[in-house]
């Protein structure tokens, strides 16, 4: 999370957009598609290899989490939500996404798990196995 900031659901699209703009010169295909989650997995693998073990790149992981959440919003019908006290305690985050079926997910925490655990926590696989997606938005999953 950005230093000294307590993000709200209303802030998350801005964080995702700012991250995409910052990395645009790298020509990474971050187009909010399901396929772009492979790119996020690849970026996290690079962070894992290039970051000293004790120095977790929290600001970058937050930005990647905002991006992953925004993919869920745009492709799966989710909405950003401010988590209540119980959810904040459970997820360790202030914001998450609510799926059309009412389930709440934690994309920020999912990105941290991907960083800490490795490829078995693939973000693309997470999306493809995610229950509660909007029916009309799953056609892209074949990518």
Please give the chain's pLDDT, 143 residues, in tens. 555 578 999 999 999 999 999 998 888 899 999 999 999 999 999 999 987 777 889 999 999 999 999 999 999 999 999 999 999 999 999 999 999 999 999 999 999 999 999 999 999 999 999 987 775 454 343 33
What is the reported pLDDT for 85?
A: 97
Q: Considering the domain boundaries, does residue 112 fall inside one? A: yes
Phi, psi of 60 (to 5 degrees): -70, -40
What is the reported pLDDT for 73?
A: 97
CB 40 within 8 A of CB 51: no
What is the reported pLDDT for 141?
A: 39
Q: Considering the domain boundaries, does residue 4 fall inside one? A: no
Q: Considering the domain boundaries, does residue 45 fall inside one? A: yes
pTM: 0.88
**Burial (0-12, 13-18, 19+ Cβ within 10 Å), 84:** exposed
What is the reported pLDDT for 55?
A: 80
> What's the structural domain count of the chain?
1
Q: Considering the domain boundaries, does residue 1 fall inside one? A: no
Q: Considering the domain boundaries, does residue 68 fall inside one? A: yes
Q: Which domain holds residue 27?
A: 9-142
What is the reported pLDDT for 4?
A: 57
């Amino acid at each position: 999370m950005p230093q000294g900031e307590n993000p709200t659901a209303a802030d998350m699209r801005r964080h995702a957009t700012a991250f995409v703009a910052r990395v645009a010169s790298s020509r990474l295909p971050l187009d909010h598609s399901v396929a772009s989650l492979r790119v996020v997995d690849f970026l996290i693998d690079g962070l894992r290899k290039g970051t000293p073990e004790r120095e977790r790149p929290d600001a970058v992981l937050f930005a990647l989490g905002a991006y992953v959440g925004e993919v869920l919003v745009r492709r799966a019908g989710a909405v950003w939500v401010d988590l209540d006290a119980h959810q904040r305690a459970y997820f360790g985050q202030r914001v998450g996404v609510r799926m059309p079926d009412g389930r709440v997910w934690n994309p920020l925490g999912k990105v941290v798990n991907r960083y800490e655990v490795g490829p078995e926590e693939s973000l693309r696989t997470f999306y493809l196995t995610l229950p509660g997606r909007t029916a009309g938005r799953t056609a892209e999953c074949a990518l």
